[in-house]
Amino acid sequence: MQTAFEKFGEDKRHHIINNFTAAAIEACGPAYHQEFIRDLLILLKTKKNWSMARHCYAPYYPDKTRNGSILWEEIMLHGDSSGYYIPKEESSLVFRCRELLSHLFPTLEPHGLMIGPGSAWARLAKEIPALRSMGVVNASAWDLNPKFADGAAEDIGRELQIPVQAIVGDFTKPLPDKIRLPETRPIVATMFGSTITQFSLLDQKNGNSPSLCGFLNNLHNVTYGNSFILATIDSNLDTERSLDCYRGRHFRTWQNWLWDFTAYMTGDNRFNPRSIEYFPKVDPETRAVIHSHIVMENTRIRINNECFRLKKGDLLEIGISQKYTPEEIKAAASHCDWEEIAVLRDNGSVRLLLYMDKHMSKEWATRVKSALKRAPANMLG
Ligand SMILES: C[S@@+](CC[C@H](N)C(=O)[O-])C[C@H]1O[C@@H](n2cnc3c(N)ncnc32)[C@H](O)[C@@H]1O
């Protein structure tokens, strides 16, 4: 068997010995490792990097029973009992919209593009019912976590008996090389679990992450202007209750885990992951929940022979959960050439939004819009 040094070549040897553990690089691959370190450096230098939150889902950790993806699965399965109410509300909303979806899409024989499909529970409760109702003839599962992308491709391919490709990569960036979506059929992109709310509406508030417009422009490019988006948002503006859902026991454990992962990825044994704790707060101006972490005692992290000191009381902002109102998201989407064509709602605060690229083929656009007009009122929620 090749050692890590042989695998990555003699030229990388010096780099590995000096800085990081070969085991971590071997577990996640050099490209992901580099991306993590780049994001961590930005966070340590500027105290804010909203791209960092995605690493909480990372499945690469020596203790396989306790890695980011497994902890996330736990939130999805048991979260309701700890006050994390969105998954349950969302799945019942998707379930109730099946009839409408089967009225709008099957004659178009669309391609289903799952954006951030996530855990096995989410696939079962949301992606499978939605994609089945829309009559998709093939699909792709796009997630930066290979476990989630591969898991969705396997489960959905088996359940719906259609070809499904896994796309492992960042959905805010162009598609990875060699992956192409079908140009000759409409694409319905599903985005559940409030994934869309990780984008800020405004660029300047967004640190190093892309804004909603950046994401929508990217989606426009990779889908050739042929896509619809079916996304859920939690528009509950009661910040007390919103924040409560992020105080859930599981969620806290999951966020704190990022620092165990950091110790593993940097190979810095002297960094104490327990010295930093999840400390969510609400931005009063935008009502967004900022996923910040507070330094509880002085510590430091060494990367590339550079030492970053963290002082007691420092705040590190790693992500955002935006609370959009449907009106706000409509205005922002319209600005980047997406048209809202339907908003479906539950009894509380979760909304299912249907958007269409304004560059959509006229034929497909007309068919979906006229089917919407003909839809019985009880289907529209
Ligand atoms: C909030 S979870 C939602 C998961 C699932 N759809 C649900 O309803 O529970 C976000 C998902 O998007 C993935 N993700 C987050 N940021 C991403 C990015 N920039 N590129 C690709 N996947 C990303 C995560 O790995 C995770 O599976």
4 within 8 A of 25, measured Cβ to Cβ = yes
Residue 172 Cβ inside 6 Å of ligand 1? The answer reads yes
Residue 20 Cβ inside 6 Å of ligand 1? The answer reads no
Per residue of the chain (381 residues), give pLDDT as tens.
444 434 444 444 444 444 678 899 999 999 899 999 999 999 999 999 988 999 999 999 998 888 998 888 887 777 656 566 777 888 889 989 999 999 999 999 999 999 999 989 899 999 999 999 999 999 999 998 888 999 999 999 999 999 999 999 999 999 998 899 999 999 999 999 889 988 887 665 445 678 899 999 999 999 999 999 999 988 776 655 555 555 566 688 889 999 999 999 999 989 999 999 999 888 888 778 889 999 999 999 999 889 999 999 999 999 988 878 888 899 999 999 999 999 988 766 788 999 999 999 999 999 999 999 998 877 776
Among 54, 127, 212, the mutation site with the greatest number of ligand 1 atoms within 8 A of its Cβ is 54
Give the DSSP H or E segment for 318: strand 315-321
* Cα–Cα distance measured from residue 172 to residue 174, given in angstroms and rounded to the nearest whole number: 7
Q: How far is the CA of 190 from the centre of ligand 1 (A)?
A: 11
Question: Whose structure tokens read 């951030």?
Answer: 116
* Cα–Cα distance measured from residue 246 to residue 239, given in angstroms and rounded to the nearest whole number: 11
Residue 322 — φ and ψ, nearest 5°? -75, 145
Residue 68: closest CA among 249, 252, 255:
255
For the record, the structure tokens of 234 come out as: 């939690």
Residue 197 Cβ inside 6 Å of ligand 1? The answer reads no
Residue 158's contacts (CB-CB under 8 Å, 6 or more residues apart) are none
Atom of ligand 1 nearest to the CA of 171: 20
Residue 76 Cβ inside 6 Å of ligand 1? The answer reads yes
Atom of ligand 1 nearest to the CA of 232: 8
- Beta strand pairing call for 187-191 and 227-234: parallel
Residue 143 Cβ inside 6 Å of ligand 1? The answer reads yes
Burial (CB < 10 A; 0-12, 13-18, 19+), residue 187, is: buried
Number of H helices, E strands in the chain: 15, 13
Q: How far is the CA of 243 from the centre of ligand 1 (A)?
A: 20
* Cα–Cα distance measured from residue 202 to residue 292, given in angstroms and rounded to the nearest whole number: 19
Residue 219 Cβ inside 6 Å of ligand 1? The answer reads no
Residue 192 Cβ inside 6 Å of ligand 1? The answer reads yes
For the record, the structure tokens of 215 come out as: 């994401």
In the CATH scheme, what is the homologous superfamily, with its name and number, of domain 85-235+329-380? Vaccinia Virus protein VP39 (3.40.50.150)
Q: How far is the CA of 153 from the centre of ligand 1 (A)?
A: 15
Q: What is the DSSP string of 90-148?
A: HHHHHHHTHHHHHHHSGGG-PEEEEES--SHHHIIIIIHHHHHHHT-SEEEEEESSHHH
Chain mean position to CA 325: 19
- pTM exceeds 0.75 for this model: yes
Q: How far is the CA of 18 from the centre of ligand 1 (A)?
A: 33
Which protein residue has the closest C-alpha to ligand 1 atom 24? 116
* Cα–Cα distance measured from residue 108 to residue 202, given in angstroms and rounded to the nearest whole number: 34
Provide the residue ranges of all domains of the chain, joining segments of one domain with +: 31-81+257-321, 85-235+329-380
Q: How far is the CA of 199 from the centre of ligand 1 (A)?
A: 12
Distances (CA, A) of 350 to 96, 215, 283: 13, 21, 20
Q: How far is the CA of 97 from the centre of ligand 1 (A)?
A: 22
Which protein residue has the closest C-alpha to ligand 1 atom 18? 170
Residue 115 — φ and ψ, nearest 5°? -105, 110
